[in-house]
Copies of this chain bind each other. A is one copy, B any other.
Amino acid sequence: MEGVSREEALPCLLKCVASKEVAGFDSIECGTGVSSQAQLAAATNWQGETAGGKEHGDAYGHLPADAISIPVNSALQHDTNLSYSIPKSLPASPYGFHVLQIESGPNEMAPPVLQSANSAAVELEQPKQAKLRSQPIPLGKSRRDSGIDNQRDKRFDPFKTWSGRFERQLSSLRGIPQEHDGEANDGCIVEVEPLPAVDRYFDALEGPELDTLRVSEVSVLPEDKKWPFLLRFPISAFGMCLGVGSQAILWKTLATSPSVGFLHVSLTVNLVLWCMSLVLVSTVSLIYACKIIFYFEAVRREYDHPVRGNFFFAPWIACLFLVQGVPPSVAEKPPTALWYALMAPIFCLEVKVYGQWMSGGQRRLSKVANPSNHLSIVGNFVGALAGASMGLREGPIFFFAVGLAHYTVLFVTLYQRLPTNVTLPKELHPVFFLFVAAPSVASMAWATINGYFDYGSRIAYFVALFLYFSLAVRINLFRGLRFSLAWWAYTFPTTGFSIATIRYSKEVTNAFTQALSVGFSAISTFTVTALLVSTIVHAFVLRDLFPNDISIAITRKGPTSSKPVAPLRSINSTMKGRETLEI
Protein backbone atom coordinates (compact mmCIF):
# COMPACT_ATOMS: atom_id res chain seq x y z
CA MET A 1 0.00 0.00 0.00
CA GLU A 2 2.86 2.30 0.65
CA GLY A 3 4.32 1.51 -2.69
CA VAL A 4 1.53 3.25 -4.53
CA SER A 5 1.49 7.02 -4.69
CA ARG A 6 -0.31 8.66 -1.77
CA GLU A 7 -3.24 10.09 -3.57
CA GLU A 8 -4.12 6.69 -4.80
CA ALA A 9 -3.60 5.00 -1.52
CA LEU A 10 -7.22 4.18 -0.84
CA PRO A 11 -7.90 0.49 -0.59
CA CYS A 12 -9.67 -1.00 -3.55
CA LEU A 13 -12.84 -1.66 -1.62
CA LEU A 14 -13.12 1.96 -0.67
CA LYS A 15 -12.22 3.23 -4.04
CA CYS A 16 -15.07 1.51 -5.74
CA VAL A 17 -17.47 3.11 -3.30
CA ALA A 18 -15.93 6.48 -3.03
CA SER A 19 -15.02 7.08 -6.60
CA LYS A 20 -18.53 6.25 -7.63
CA GLU A 21 -19.86 8.54 -4.98
CA VAL A 22 -17.79 11.48 -5.88
CA ALA A 23 -16.71 12.16 -9.34
CA GLY A 24 -13.43 13.95 -9.43
CA PHE A 25 -12.22 11.69 -6.68
CA ASP A 26 -8.53 12.20 -6.38
CA SER A 27 -8.38 14.21 -9.54
CA ILE A 28 -6.80 17.58 -9.24
CA GLU A 29 -8.40 20.14 -11.43
CA CYS A 30 -6.96 23.43 -12.43
CA GLY A 31 -8.45 26.69 -11.40
CA THR A 32 -8.21 29.24 -14.12
CA GLY A 33 -8.41 32.62 -12.49
CA VAL A 34 -8.56 34.70 -9.43
CA SER A 35 -11.21 33.08 -7.34
CA SER A 36 -11.38 35.33 -4.34
CA GLN A 37 -10.01 38.47 -2.91
CA ALA A 38 -7.86 36.47 -0.57
CA GLN A 39 -6.28 34.86 -3.50
CA LEU A 40 -5.75 38.18 -5.13
CA ALA A 41 -3.75 39.25 -2.12
CA ALA A 42 -1.75 36.10 -2.41
CA ALA A 43 -1.32 36.64 -6.08
CA THR A 44 0.10 40.09 -5.68
CA ASN A 45 2.69 38.63 -3.43
CA TRP A 46 3.84 36.43 -6.12
CA GLN A 47 6.82 38.12 -7.67
CA GLY A 48 7.17 35.75 -10.54
CA GLU A 49 7.83 36.78 -14.08
CA THR A 50 4.99 36.68 -16.50
CA ALA A 51 6.43 34.84 -19.38
CA GLY A 52 8.95 32.26 -18.40
CA GLY A 53 7.86 31.21 -14.94
CA LYS A 54 4.99 29.02 -15.91
CA GLU A 55 6.64 25.66 -15.72
CA HIS A 56 8.07 25.85 -12.25
CA GLY A 57 5.74 28.45 -10.83
CA ASP A 58 3.29 25.63 -10.58
CA ALA A 59 4.67 23.89 -7.59
CA TYR A 60 5.41 26.84 -5.35
CA GLY A 61 2.47 29.00 -6.19
CA HIS A 62 0.48 30.11 -3.23
CA LEU A 63 2.38 28.73 -0.36
CA PRO A 64 3.38 31.53 1.99
CA ALA A 65 6.80 30.72 3.23
CA ASP A 66 6.20 31.31 6.87
CA ALA A 67 2.93 29.49 7.02
CA ILE A 68 3.88 25.98 6.40
CA SER A 69 7.06 24.12 5.91
CA ILE A 70 7.95 24.28 2.30
CA PRO A 71 10.04 21.35 1.39
CA VAL A 72 12.15 23.70 -0.58
CA ASN A 73 15.16 21.60 -0.91
CA SER A 74 13.49 18.42 -1.83
CA ALA A 75 11.22 20.22 -4.21
CA LEU A 76 14.06 21.95 -5.88
CA GLN A 77 15.83 18.71 -6.45
CA HIS A 78 13.62 18.06 -9.39
CA ASP A 79 15.22 20.83 -11.37
CA THR A 80 18.72 20.72 -10.18
CA ASN A 81 19.95 23.47 -12.37
CA LEU A 82 17.50 25.90 -10.82
CA SER A 83 17.93 24.87 -7.24
CA TYR A 84 21.64 25.02 -7.29
CA SER A 85 21.68 28.35 -8.99
CA ILE A 86 20.12 30.03 -5.98
CA PRO A 87 22.85 29.99 -3.39
CA LYS A 88 25.39 30.87 -5.96
CA SER A 89 23.64 33.68 -7.67
CA LEU A 90 22.15 35.32 -4.59
CA PRO A 91 25.25 36.94 -3.22
CA ALA A 92 26.33 37.98 -6.67
CA SER A 93 23.27 40.01 -7.51
CA PRO A 94 21.15 41.24 -4.69
CA TYR A 95 19.64 43.74 -7.03
CA GLY A 96 16.19 42.25 -7.07
CA PHE A 97 15.93 42.50 -3.34
CA HIS A 98 16.98 46.07 -3.40
CA VAL A 99 14.29 46.98 -5.87
CA LEU A 100 11.78 45.15 -3.84
CA GLN A 101 12.75 46.91 -0.68
CA ILE A 102 12.58 50.30 -2.22
CA GLU A 103 9.19 49.51 -3.48
CA SER A 104 7.86 48.34 -0.20
CA GLY A 105 9.36 51.36 1.46
CA PRO A 106 10.46 51.99 5.01
CA ASN A 107 7.18 50.84 6.43
CA GLU A 108 7.20 47.43 4.93
CA MET A 109 5.18 45.31 7.26
CA ALA A 110 6.39 41.92 6.28
CA PRO A 111 9.11 41.11 3.92
CA PRO A 112 7.76 39.21 0.99
CA VAL A 113 5.76 36.15 1.56
CA LEU A 114 7.59 34.69 -1.26
CA GLN A 115 11.10 35.82 -0.69
CA SER A 116 11.61 32.15 -0.94
CA ALA A 117 14.46 30.74 -2.87
CA ASN A 118 12.64 30.38 -6.11
CA SER A 119 11.11 33.81 -6.27
CA ALA A 120 14.47 35.28 -5.54
CA ALA A 121 15.85 33.23 -8.36
CA VAL A 122 13.18 34.45 -10.65
CA GLU A 123 13.92 38.00 -9.80
CA LEU A 124 17.55 37.51 -10.36
CA GLU A 125 16.89 36.29 -13.81
CA GLN A 126 14.74 39.18 -14.90
CA PRO A 127 15.05 41.93 -12.35
CA LYS A 128 13.09 44.49 -14.24
CA GLN A 129 10.13 42.38 -14.95
CA ALA A 130 10.06 41.16 -11.42
CA LYS A 131 8.41 44.37 -10.44
CA LEU A 132 5.50 43.62 -12.62
CA ARG A 133 2.67 42.55 -10.41
CA SER A 134 1.71 39.74 -12.64
CA GLN A 135 -1.69 38.19 -13.07
CA PRO A 136 -1.97 34.88 -11.29
CA ILE A 137 -0.64 32.20 -13.51
CA PRO A 138 -2.96 29.35 -14.37
CA LEU A 139 -1.37 26.86 -12.09
CA GLY A 140 -1.54 23.20 -11.47
CA LYS A 141 -1.48 20.94 -14.42
CA SER A 142 -2.60 17.79 -12.75
CA ARG A 143 -0.21 14.97 -12.35
CA ARG A 144 -2.52 12.67 -14.21
CA ASP A 145 -2.69 14.87 -17.22
CA SER A 146 1.00 15.24 -17.53
CA GLY A 147 1.68 11.71 -16.48
CA ILE A 148 5.13 12.59 -15.27
CA ASP A 149 5.71 11.54 -11.71
CA ASN A 150 8.20 14.18 -10.71
CA GLN A 151 5.70 16.87 -11.54
CA ARG A 152 3.06 15.62 -9.10
CA ASP A 153 1.55 18.33 -6.95
CA LYS A 154 3.68 18.66 -3.86
CA ARG A 155 1.70 21.41 -2.27
CA PHE A 156 -0.28 18.86 -0.30
CA ASP A 157 2.78 17.20 1.09
CA PRO A 158 2.85 19.10 4.36
CA PHE A 159 -0.49 17.54 5.22
CA LYS A 160 0.64 14.07 4.33
CA THR A 161 1.62 11.82 7.12
CA TRP A 162 4.75 10.32 5.62
CA SER A 163 5.97 12.40 2.78
CA GLY A 164 5.36 15.51 4.81
CA ARG A 165 7.12 14.27 7.84
CA PHE A 166 10.13 12.91 6.05
CA GLU A 167 10.54 15.87 3.84
CA ARG A 168 10.06 18.23 6.72
CA GLN A 169 12.72 16.45 8.68
CA LEU A 170 14.92 16.59 5.69
CA SER A 171 14.25 20.25 5.16
CA SER A 172 14.77 21.17 8.73
CA LEU A 173 18.02 19.32 8.75
CA ARG A 174 19.16 21.41 5.85
CA GLY A 175 17.25 24.50 6.78
CA ILE A 176 18.70 25.08 10.20
CA PRO A 177 22.25 25.68 9.11
CA GLN A 178 20.96 28.01 6.42
CA GLU A 179 19.42 30.24 9.01
CA HIS A 180 22.84 31.50 9.89
CA ASP A 181 23.56 32.55 6.34
CA GLY A 182 21.95 35.90 6.82
CA GLU A 183 18.92 37.72 5.59
CA ALA A 184 19.10 36.63 2.04
CA ASN A 185 18.12 33.13 3.01
CA ASP A 186 15.16 34.11 5.13
CA GLY A 187 12.83 32.47 2.73
CA CYS A 188 14.48 29.15 3.31
CA ILE A 189 13.71 28.98 7.01
CA VAL A 190 11.53 25.99 7.35
CA GLU A 191 8.80 25.88 9.94
CA VAL A 192 8.87 22.66 11.87
CA GLU A 193 5.62 23.26 13.81
CA PRO A 194 2.97 23.77 11.19
CA LEU A 195 -0.07 23.54 13.49
CA PRO A 196 -1.84 26.87 13.92
CA ALA A 197 -2.63 28.13 17.41
CA VAL A 198 -6.26 28.04 18.42
CA ASP A 199 -6.67 31.76 18.15
CA ARG A 200 -5.74 31.57 14.52
CA TYR A 201 -8.96 29.69 13.81
CA PHE A 202 -10.96 32.57 15.25
CA ASP A 203 -8.88 35.12 13.41
CA ALA A 204 -8.72 33.45 10.05
CA LEU A 205 -12.18 31.99 9.68
CA GLU A 206 -15.70 33.26 9.85
CA GLY A 207 -19.26 32.05 9.47
CA PRO A 208 -21.41 30.09 11.92
CA GLU A 209 -19.34 26.99 11.34
CA LEU A 210 -16.05 28.84 11.04
CA ASP A 211 -15.63 27.43 7.57
CA THR A 212 -15.06 30.52 5.45
CA LEU A 213 -11.72 32.18 5.07
CA ARG A 214 -11.67 35.85 5.90
CA VAL A 215 -10.84 38.21 3.11
CA SER A 216 -7.50 39.12 4.59
CA GLU A 217 -6.36 35.54 4.85
CA VAL A 218 -4.64 33.22 2.47
CA SER A 219 -4.99 29.49 2.35
CA VAL A 220 -1.94 27.26 2.68
CA LEU A 221 -3.42 24.91 0.13
CA PRO A 222 -4.22 25.98 -3.39
CA GLU A 223 -7.68 27.45 -3.61
CA ASP A 224 -7.86 27.28 -7.35
CA LYS A 225 -7.97 23.55 -7.71
CA LYS A 226 -9.68 20.61 -6.12
CA TRP A 227 -7.70 19.01 -3.35
CA PRO A 228 -7.22 15.29 -2.94
CA PHE A 229 -10.44 13.67 -1.85
CA LEU A 230 -9.24 12.72 1.59
CA LEU A 231 -8.24 16.28 2.36
CA ARG A 232 -11.70 17.42 1.39
CA PHE A 233 -13.46 14.76 3.47
CA PRO A 234 -14.42 16.40 6.74
CA ILE A 235 -15.21 14.83 10.09
CA SER A 236 -18.67 16.37 9.80
CA ALA A 237 -19.47 13.66 7.29
CA PHE A 238 -20.34 11.61 10.35
CA GLY A 239 -23.35 13.91 10.61
CA MET A 240 -24.91 11.75 7.88
CA CYS A 241 -24.48 8.71 10.09
CA LEU A 242 -26.17 10.57 12.94
CA GLY A 243 -29.06 11.57 10.69
CA VAL A 244 -29.71 8.16 9.20
CA GLY A 245 -28.95 6.29 12.42
CA SER A 246 -31.45 8.32 14.39
CA GLN A 247 -34.03 7.69 11.68
CA ALA A 248 -33.48 3.99 12.16
CA ILE A 249 -34.25 4.38 15.86
CA LEU A 250 -37.28 6.54 15.07
CA TRP A 251 -38.77 3.92 12.81
CA LYS A 252 -38.02 1.19 15.30
CA THR A 253 -39.85 3.23 17.90
CA LEU A 254 -42.73 3.93 15.53
CA ALA A 255 -43.03 0.22 14.85
CA THR A 256 -42.88 -0.90 18.47
CA SER A 257 -44.56 1.85 20.45
CA PRO A 258 -48.17 1.06 21.32
CA SER A 259 -49.18 4.72 21.35
CA VAL A 260 -48.58 4.98 17.60
CA GLY A 261 -49.68 1.42 16.92
CA PHE A 262 -52.51 2.75 14.79
CA LEU A 263 -49.91 3.60 12.14
CA HIS A 264 -49.02 -0.08 11.64
CA VAL A 265 -45.44 0.74 10.76
CA SER A 266 -43.44 -2.30 9.76
CA LEU A 267 -40.12 -3.11 11.37
CA THR A 268 -38.73 -3.56 7.87
CA VAL A 269 -38.28 0.17 7.55
CA ASN A 270 -36.11 0.06 10.64
CA LEU A 271 -34.15 -2.83 9.19
CA VAL A 272 -33.54 -1.05 5.91
CA LEU A 273 -32.56 2.20 7.59
CA TRP A 274 -30.36 0.39 10.04
CA CYS A 275 -28.52 -1.39 7.23
CA MET A 276 -28.10 1.88 5.40
CA SER A 277 -26.84 3.38 8.55
CA LEU A 278 -24.42 0.53 9.12
CA VAL A 279 -23.04 0.84 5.61
CA LEU A 280 -22.77 4.58 5.98
CA VAL A 281 -20.99 4.40 9.31
CA SER A 282 -18.58 1.79 7.96
CA THR A 283 -17.86 3.74 4.82
CA VAL A 284 -17.38 7.07 6.47
CA SER A 285 -15.27 5.51 9.22
CA LEU A 286 -13.10 3.73 6.70
CA ILE A 287 -12.56 6.86 4.64
CA TYR A 288 -11.82 8.90 7.70
CA ALA A 289 -9.46 6.23 8.95
CA CYS A 290 -7.59 6.63 5.69
CA LYS A 291 -7.50 10.34 6.24
CA ILE A 292 -6.03 9.74 9.70
CA ILE A 293 -3.42 7.48 8.21
CA PHE A 294 -2.46 9.51 5.19
CA TYR A 295 -3.23 13.06 6.19
CA PHE A 296 -2.73 13.08 9.91
CA GLU A 297 -1.83 16.74 9.82
CA ALA A 298 -5.23 17.56 8.34
CA VAL A 299 -6.97 15.50 11.02
CA ARG A 300 -5.08 17.32 13.73
CA ARG A 301 -6.19 20.61 12.28
CA GLU A 302 -9.79 19.45 12.26
CA TYR A 303 -9.46 18.32 15.84
CA ASP A 304 -8.13 21.71 16.84
CA HIS A 305 -10.84 23.59 15.00
CA PRO A 306 -13.17 25.13 17.60
CA VAL A 307 -16.36 24.04 15.85
CA ARG A 308 -15.21 21.02 13.90
CA GLY A 309 -13.51 19.50 16.93
CA ASN A 310 -16.88 18.76 18.48
CA PHE A 311 -17.67 16.47 15.59
CA PHE A 312 -15.10 14.03 16.87
CA PHE A 313 -17.82 12.88 19.23
CA ALA A 314 -20.01 12.04 16.23
CA PRO A 315 -18.49 8.68 15.25
CA TRP A 316 -19.08 7.25 18.69
CA ILE A 317 -22.55 8.70 18.94
CA ALA A 318 -23.32 7.23 15.54
CA CYS A 319 -22.20 3.83 16.78
CA LEU A 320 -24.38 4.22 19.86
CA PHE A 321 -27.27 5.01 17.53
CA LEU A 322 -26.51 1.80 15.68
CA VAL A 323 -26.59 -0.09 18.95
CA GLN A 324 -29.78 1.61 20.01
CA GLY A 325 -31.54 1.16 16.70
CA VAL A 326 -30.55 -2.43 16.08
CA PRO A 327 -33.53 -4.28 14.59
CA PRO A 328 -34.92 -6.99 16.86
CA SER A 329 -34.35 -9.44 14.04
CA VAL A 330 -30.62 -8.71 14.06
CA ALA A 331 -29.97 -8.77 17.78
CA GLU A 332 -32.35 -8.94 20.69
CA LYS A 333 -29.95 -7.31 23.07
CA PRO A 334 -26.49 -5.97 22.24
CA PRO A 335 -23.65 -7.05 24.53
CA THR A 336 -22.80 -4.59 27.30
CA ALA A 337 -19.11 -4.82 26.42
CA LEU A 338 -19.97 -2.85 23.31
CA TRP A 339 -21.29 -0.07 25.49
CA TYR A 340 -18.07 0.13 27.49
CA ALA A 341 -16.05 0.08 24.29
CA LEU A 342 -18.00 2.96 22.85
CA MET A 343 -18.16 5.06 26.00
CA ALA A 344 -14.41 4.88 26.61
CA PRO A 345 -13.46 7.22 23.75
CA ILE A 346 -16.36 9.53 24.58
CA PHE A 347 -15.14 9.69 28.17
CA CYS A 348 -11.59 10.47 27.06
CA LEU A 349 -12.74 13.17 24.68
CA GLU A 350 -14.85 14.68 27.43
CA VAL A 351 -12.01 14.75 29.93
CA LYS A 352 -10.06 16.59 27.27
CA VAL A 353 -12.76 18.99 26.09
CA TYR A 354 -14.38 19.88 29.40
CA GLY A 355 -10.96 20.24 30.92
CA GLN A 356 -10.09 22.77 28.25
CA TRP A 357 -13.24 24.72 29.02
CA MET A 358 -12.22 25.03 32.61
CA SER A 359 -8.50 25.36 32.38
CA GLY A 360 -8.19 28.88 31.16
CA GLY A 361 -6.35 28.41 27.94
CA GLN A 362 -7.44 29.52 24.52
CA ARG A 363 -10.34 27.08 24.59
CA ARG A 364 -12.04 28.32 27.71
CA LEU A 365 -15.79 28.17 27.54
CA SER A 366 -16.37 31.91 27.61
CA LYS A 367 -14.50 31.97 24.34
CA VAL A 368 -15.43 28.86 22.39
CA ALA A 369 -19.03 28.18 23.45
CA ASN A 370 -21.19 27.58 20.40
CA PRO A 371 -24.12 25.30 19.64
CA SER A 372 -21.93 22.60 18.16
CA ASN A 373 -20.63 22.03 21.71
CA HIS A 374 -23.92 20.26 22.25
CA LEU A 375 -22.39 17.38 20.34
CA SER A 376 -19.90 16.98 23.15
CA ILE A 377 -22.72 16.93 25.70
CA VAL A 378 -25.28 14.81 23.93
CA GLY A 379 -22.91 11.85 23.86
CA ASN A 380 -23.41 11.53 27.59
CA PHE A 381 -27.15 11.28 27.29
CA VAL A 382 -27.07 8.99 24.28
CA GLY A 383 -24.65 6.79 26.21
CA ALA A 384 -26.83 6.88 29.28
CA LEU A 385 -29.86 5.93 27.20
CA ALA A 386 -28.07 3.11 25.41
CA GLY A 387 -26.56 1.80 28.64
CA ALA A 388 -29.84 1.93 30.50
CA SER A 389 -31.55 0.17 27.62
CA MET A 390 -28.99 -2.60 27.95
CA GLY A 391 -29.87 -2.93 31.61
CA LEU A 392 -26.85 -1.17 33.06
CA ARG A 393 -27.39 1.29 35.86
CA GLU A 394 -24.40 2.96 37.47
CA GLY A 395 -22.56 3.68 34.25
CA PRO A 396 -25.54 5.35 32.63
CA ILE A 397 -26.16 7.44 35.75
CA PHE A 398 -22.51 8.47 35.69
CA PHE A 399 -22.77 9.76 32.15
CA PHE A 400 -26.14 11.27 32.85
CA ALA A 401 -24.66 13.18 35.78
CA VAL A 402 -21.68 14.39 33.81
CA GLY A 403 -23.97 15.40 30.99
CA LEU A 404 -26.37 17.19 33.29
CA ALA A 405 -23.68 19.24 35.01
CA HIS A 406 -22.04 20.29 31.80
CA TYR A 407 -25.29 20.78 29.97
CA THR A 408 -26.33 23.25 32.65
CA VAL A 409 -23.12 25.15 32.13
CA LEU A 410 -23.41 25.11 28.36
CA PHE A 411 -27.10 25.92 28.32
CA VAL A 412 -26.62 28.95 30.54
CA THR A 413 -23.57 30.07 28.62
CA LEU A 414 -25.20 29.79 25.23
CA TYR A 415 -28.39 31.42 26.41
CA GLN A 416 -26.48 34.32 27.90
CA ARG A 417 -24.80 35.04 24.60
CA LEU A 418 -21.68 36.34 26.22
CA PRO A 419 -20.07 38.84 23.92
CA THR A 420 -16.80 36.97 24.38
CA ASN A 421 -18.15 33.84 22.72
CA VAL A 422 -16.51 34.50 19.44
CA THR A 423 -17.63 31.35 17.71
CA LEU A 424 -21.28 31.78 18.50
CA PRO A 425 -23.07 32.72 15.26
CA LYS A 426 -24.25 36.31 15.34
CA GLU A 427 -27.74 35.34 14.29
CA LEU A 428 -29.77 32.21 14.72
CA HIS A 429 -28.83 29.42 12.38
CA PRO A 430 -29.91 25.81 11.90
CA VAL A 431 -27.04 24.78 14.17
CA PHE A 432 -29.23 26.02 17.01
CA PHE A 433 -31.42 22.96 16.54
CA LEU A 434 -28.69 21.14 18.40
CA PHE A 435 -30.20 22.84 21.44
CA VAL A 436 -33.09 20.41 21.17
CA ALA A 437 -30.91 17.31 21.12
CA ALA A 438 -29.64 17.22 24.68
CA PRO A 439 -32.94 17.64 26.58
CA SER A 440 -34.73 15.25 24.20
CA VAL A 441 -32.24 12.48 24.70
CA ALA A 442 -31.87 13.33 28.39
CA SER A 443 -35.59 12.85 28.93
CA MET A 444 -35.46 9.42 27.33
CA ALA A 445 -32.29 8.50 29.18
CA TRP A 446 -33.77 9.48 32.51
CA ALA A 447 -36.99 7.66 31.76
CA THR A 448 -35.02 4.55 30.89
CA ILE A 449 -32.82 4.76 33.96
CA ASN A 450 -35.81 5.43 36.15
CA GLY A 451 -38.13 2.90 34.61
CA TYR A 452 -40.86 5.35 33.68
CA PHE A 453 -41.38 8.80 32.21
CA ASP A 454 -41.44 10.66 35.50
CA TYR A 455 -41.52 14.37 36.28
CA GLY A 456 -37.79 14.70 35.68
CA SER A 457 -38.14 13.22 32.22
CA ARG A 458 -41.09 15.42 31.49
CA ILE A 459 -39.24 18.54 32.53
CA ALA A 460 -36.43 17.67 30.13
CA TYR A 461 -38.92 16.78 27.42
CA PHE A 462 -40.90 19.98 27.82
CA VAL A 463 -37.75 22.07 27.73
CA ALA A 464 -36.94 20.40 24.42
CA LEU A 465 -40.48 21.01 23.21
CA PHE A 466 -40.28 24.68 24.03
CA LEU A 467 -36.89 25.08 22.40
CA TYR A 468 -38.08 23.22 19.32
CA PHE A 469 -41.11 25.40 18.98
CA SER A 470 -39.17 28.54 19.73
CA LEU A 471 -36.71 27.77 16.94
CA ALA A 472 -39.27 26.47 14.48
CA VAL A 473 -41.28 29.69 14.47
CA ARG A 474 -38.28 31.75 13.53
CA ILE A 475 -38.62 31.48 9.81
CA ASN A 476 -35.64 33.66 9.12
CA LEU A 477 -33.52 30.80 10.36
CA PHE A 478 -34.11 29.08 7.10
CA ARG A 479 -33.44 31.81 4.66
CA GLY A 480 -30.36 32.37 2.61
CA LEU A 481 -28.51 29.29 3.72
CA ARG A 482 -26.45 27.20 1.41
CA PHE A 483 -26.27 23.46 1.75
CA SER A 484 -23.40 21.89 3.61
CA LEU A 485 -22.65 18.47 4.92
CA ALA A 486 -22.86 19.83 8.47
CA TRP A 487 -26.61 20.20 8.06
CA TRP A 488 -26.97 16.50 8.70
CA ALA A 489 -25.91 17.08 12.25
CA TYR A 490 -28.79 19.48 12.68
CA THR A 491 -31.37 16.88 11.69
CA PHE A 492 -30.70 14.34 14.38
CA PRO A 493 -32.03 16.59 17.16
CA THR A 494 -35.40 16.79 15.46
CA THR A 495 -35.41 13.01 15.04
CA GLY A 496 -34.39 12.59 18.65
CA PHE A 497 -37.16 14.88 19.69
CA SER A 498 -39.66 12.86 17.67
CA ILE A 499 -38.57 9.70 19.44
CA ALA A 500 -38.91 11.44 22.79
CA THR A 501 -42.39 12.56 21.80
CA ILE A 502 -43.40 8.99 20.99
CA ARG A 503 -41.94 7.91 24.29
CA TYR A 504 -43.91 10.61 26.06
CA SER A 505 -47.07 9.68 24.22
CA LYS A 506 -46.63 6.16 25.53
CA GLU A 507 -46.92 7.61 29.04
CA VAL A 508 -49.61 10.16 28.28
CA THR A 509 -51.64 8.64 25.50
CA ASN A 510 -54.25 10.88 23.98
CA ALA A 511 -55.11 12.30 20.61
CA PHE A 512 -52.95 15.35 21.14
CA THR A 513 -49.76 13.49 22.04
CA GLN A 514 -50.39 10.99 19.27
CA ALA A 515 -50.84 13.80 16.80
CA LEU A 516 -47.63 15.37 18.07
CA SER A 517 -45.82 12.06 17.63
CA VAL A 518 -46.99 11.61 14.09
CA GLY A 519 -46.43 15.26 13.22
CA PHE A 520 -42.90 15.53 14.55
CA SER A 521 -41.96 12.15 13.06
CA ALA A 522 -43.23 13.30 9.70
CA ILE A 523 -41.27 16.53 9.92
CA SER A 524 -38.06 14.79 10.85
CA THR A 525 -38.44 12.13 8.19
CA PHE A 526 -39.25 14.77 5.63
CA THR A 527 -36.20 16.80 6.67
CA VAL A 528 -33.92 13.81 6.44
CA THR A 529 -35.33 12.80 3.09
CA ALA A 530 -34.93 16.30 1.73
CA LEU A 531 -31.38 16.39 2.97
CA LEU A 532 -30.67 12.99 1.51
CA VAL A 533 -31.88 14.15 -1.86
CA SER A 534 -29.84 17.33 -1.58
CA THR A 535 -26.81 15.34 -0.66
CA ILE A 536 -27.24 12.99 -3.59
CA VAL A 537 -27.75 15.91 -5.93
CA HIS A 538 -24.66 17.61 -4.62
CA ALA A 539 -22.67 14.40 -4.75
CA PHE A 540 -23.57 13.14 -8.20
CA VAL A 541 -25.09 16.01 -10.10
CA LEU A 542 -23.38 19.15 -8.90
CA ARG A 543 -20.36 17.18 -7.74
CA ASP A 544 -19.60 19.64 -5.00
CA LEU A 545 -20.50 17.64 -1.93
CA PHE A 546 -16.94 17.86 -0.71
CA PRO A 547 -15.59 21.30 -1.54
CA ASN A 548 -12.09 22.24 -0.53
CA ASP A 549 -12.05 22.20 3.24
CA ILE A 550 -10.77 25.71 3.80
CA SER A 551 -11.11 25.37 7.59
CA ILE A 552 -8.02 23.24 7.79
CA ALA A 553 -5.93 25.25 5.39
CA ILE A 554 -5.39 28.37 7.41
CA THR A 555 -1.90 29.66 7.82
CA ARG A 556 -0.16 29.36 11.10
CA LYS A 557 0.67 32.99 11.64
CA GLY A 558 -1.94 35.13 10.02
CA PRO A 559 -1.67 37.06 6.83
CA THR A 560 1.89 37.99 6.07
CA SER A 561 0.56 41.40 5.46
CA SER A 562 1.43 42.59 2.08
CA LYS A 563 0.94 46.30 1.75
CA PRO A 564 -2.78 46.69 1.21
CA VAL A 565 -3.65 44.41 4.06
CA ALA A 566 -1.28 46.11 6.44
CA PRO A 567 -3.51 48.85 7.83
CA LEU A 568 -6.30 46.41 8.43
CA ARG A 569 -3.97 44.13 10.18
CA SER A 570 -2.56 46.69 12.51
CA ILE A 571 -6.03 47.61 13.62
CA ASN A 572 -6.71 43.99 14.08
CA SER A 573 -3.68 43.36 16.20
CA THR A 574 -4.29 46.44 18.26
CA MET A 575 -7.73 45.18 18.96
CA LYS A 576 -6.51 41.81 19.88
CA GLY A 577 -3.97 43.34 22.16
CA ARG A 578 -6.65 45.28 23.88
CA GLU A 579 -8.86 42.30 24.18
CA THR A 580 -6.16 40.41 25.94
CA LEU A 581 -5.52 43.25 28.28
CA GLU A 582 -9.00 44.29 29.03
CA ILE A 583 -11.48 41.55 28.82
Contact = CB atoms under 8 A, between A and B. Distances in A.
A160 B445 CA distance: 55
A427 B359 contact: yes
Interface string A339-372: 0000000000011001101111100111101000
Contacts of A425: 360
A459 B384 CA distance: 12
Interface in A52-102: none
Interface in A416-439: 416-420, 424-428, 432
Given A351-B469, A366-B418, A408-B412, A462 B357 contact: no
A415 interface: yes
Contacts of A121: none
Contacts of A411: 405, 408-409
Contact of A579 (B350, B359, B582): B582
B358 A398 contact: no
Contacts of A394: 458, 508
A474 B402 CA distance: 18
A414 B459 CA distance: 23
Contacts of A465: 398
Contact of A366 (B351, B359, B417): B417
A166 interface: no
Number of this chain's copies in the complex = 3
A420 B421 CA distance: 13
A418 B459 CA distance: 28
A462 B401 contact: yes
A7 B55 CA distance: 84
Question: Among the interface residues A401, A473, A582, which one has the most CB atoms of the partner chain B within 10 A?
Answer: A401
Nearest to A462: B401
A575 interface: yes
Contacts of A579: 419, 582
A466 interface: yes
A313 to B, nearest CB: 16
Given A402-B463, A582-B582, A582-B583, A364 B417 contact: yes
Given A401-B466, A402-B463, A583 B581 contact: no
A395 B417 CA distance: 29
A365 B414 CA distance: 10
Nearest to A455: B397
Given A351-B473, A405-B411, A450-B455, A417 B365 contact: yes
15 contacts: A351-B470, A351-B473, A358-B415, A358-B428, A360-B426, A365-B417, A366-B419, A394-B458, A397-B455, A397-B458, A405-B459, A418-B420, A450-B455, A575-B578, A583-B583
